[in-house]
């Protein structure tokens, strides 16, 4: 089973059971953000975690095997048209240089890892409209001189 077929199978099973990433993650004691990313094919799951996800959703070992396979992380380079994803591109477009400047002032010349990384998505209730809180936590990787 390839990653796309795996994703289709996982999304269908999740929807048919009326489950959320939050519920599955809580029940399996794993991050719902990481779980969604793995199920969408952008991360590999350790074999025991892959089996637990497949078992939880009542899926066979082919899904678990595909979850455990290393992904090829590609995406369209064009700006996406989905409004939520587009807005994240907009955030990086507007604040990317600012974030780079602030991070490099605090840490030096380098980057934030997307490999040694975690992310949480939370909801902050607000009388003027609920707020989305995205917390990204990546290891700082300094550039080296030689």
Active-site annotation holds for 87: yes
Domain residue spans of the chain: 3-68, 83-142
Tens digit of each residue's pLDDT (9 = 90 or more) over 25-40: 999 999 999 999 999 9
Domain 3-68 and domain 83-142 have a common topology: no
Active-site annotation holds for 69: no
∠ CA 43-48-50, nearest 5°, is 40
Catalytic residue chosen out of the listed positions 16, 20, 22, 90: 90
Sole residue written with tokens 């409209």: 129
The encoded tokens of residue 6 equal 């795996």
pLDDT of residue 144: 87
Q: Which of 144, 142, 146 is nearest to 107 (CA)?
A: 142
Catalytic residue chosen out of the listed positions 61, 87, 118, 131: 87
The answer to whether residues 56 and 24 touch, using CB atoms and an 8 Å cutoff, is yes
Would you state the CATH architecture of domain 83-142?
2-Layer Sandwich (3.30)
Position 77 confidence tier, pLDDT thresholds 50, 70, 90: confident
The answer to whether residues 67 and 54 touch, using CB atoms and an 8 Å cutoff, is yes
pLDDT of residue 74: 78
Tens digit of each residue's pLDDT (9 = 90 or more) over 8-22: 999 999 999 999 999
* H/E run at residue 131: strand 131-142
- The CATH code belonging to domain 3-68 is 1.10.260.40
Average pLDDT, the chain: 94
Position 79 confidence tier, pLDDT thresholds 50, 70, 90: confident
User: Could you tell me the pTM of the whole model?
Assistant: 0.82
pLDDT of residue 45: 97
Active-site annotation holds for 105: no
């Amino acid at each position: 089973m390839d990653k796309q077929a795996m994703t289709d199978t996982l999304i269908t099973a999740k929807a048919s059971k009326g489950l959320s990433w939050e519920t599955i993650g809580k029940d399996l004691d794993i991050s719902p953000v990481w779980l969604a990313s793995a199920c969408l094919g952008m991360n590999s799951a350790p074999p025991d975690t892959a089996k637990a996800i497949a078992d939880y959703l009542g899926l066979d070992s082919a899904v678990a095997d595909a979850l455990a396979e290393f992904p090829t992380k590609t995406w369209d380079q064009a700006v996406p048209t989905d409004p939520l994803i587009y807005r994240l591109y907009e955030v990086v477009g507007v604040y990317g240089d600012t974030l780079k400047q602030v991070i490099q002032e605090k840490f030096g010349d380098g980057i934030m890892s997307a490999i040694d990384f975690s992310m949480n998505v939370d909801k902050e209730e607000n009388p003027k409209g609920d707020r989305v809180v995205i917390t990204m936590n990546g290891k700082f990787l300094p550039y080296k001189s030689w």
